[in-house]
Amino acid sequence: MARTAIVTGSGRGIGKATALLLAKKGVNIVVCSRTKSEVDSTVDEARKLFHDGVLGVVCDVGVASQVDALVKKAVARFGQIDILVNNAGIFYAKKLVDTSEKEWDDTMNSNLKSAFLCSKAVLPHLTKTGTIINVSSGAGKTGFENLSAYCASKFGMMGLAESLSWEVQGSIRVMAICPGEVDTRMQESDPVYYRENRSRMLKPEQVAEKIAEMIFDTRRYRNGQSVDI
């Protein structure tokens, strides 16, 4: 039976690249995003390029009821869940004093609460050799100016992965990946910086390759591990 993966925030960027790569490797893919057009785009591309084992779900992964519905649909379609990639995320490039309470809450809900909700919902259905990967960041290990909310959420994803790694049973692995700057639409919030530094940024496909490596190479990548890229 083919493995099944839920990849959050897979309408674009790292999430989309990861979903397409896993589909290429024969994994059933559950694509989810809050934006229907992005979900449809990733699903269509995966089906045209690879296979029909693709399910698209419009979902706000910061809302428990929507996450529960997402997992139920995945299990109903594919019978099991083997992989969860907690990738959904947003950020605001602002000083802490200029960050509103709503912006703080939105960042925590999208980046950190979503990883909590998805992991909690998936664990009862995860196969005994399942894998959960939290897509953290270099900003999850080092604080950066004007990114207080984002850094706090990404530090939290690291702590969540490390703590959960002690709680899982059998051969389940919970890990985190910490990419440096990645060439995605997030960078467009600072057009000047993006234009000057884009050439040295990681491509989403490079991060996806490392995520796939972490999933499939069970000897090299162990429960509780954090991987920089």
| Half-sphere CA count of 202, side-chain side, radius 13 A | 20
Q: Which helix (H) or strand (E) is 226 found in, with range? A: strand 226-228
Q: Are the C-beta atoms of residues 182 and 211 closer than 8 Å to each other?
A: no
Q: Which residues are catalytic?
A: 150
| Closest C-alpha among 77, 57, 117, 80 to residue 4 | 80
Kindly list the distances between the CA atom of residue 157 and the CA atoms of 87, 177, 207, in Å, as whole numbers in the listed order. 10, 10, 17
Tokens of 172: 């389940």
Hey, what amino acid is at 4? T
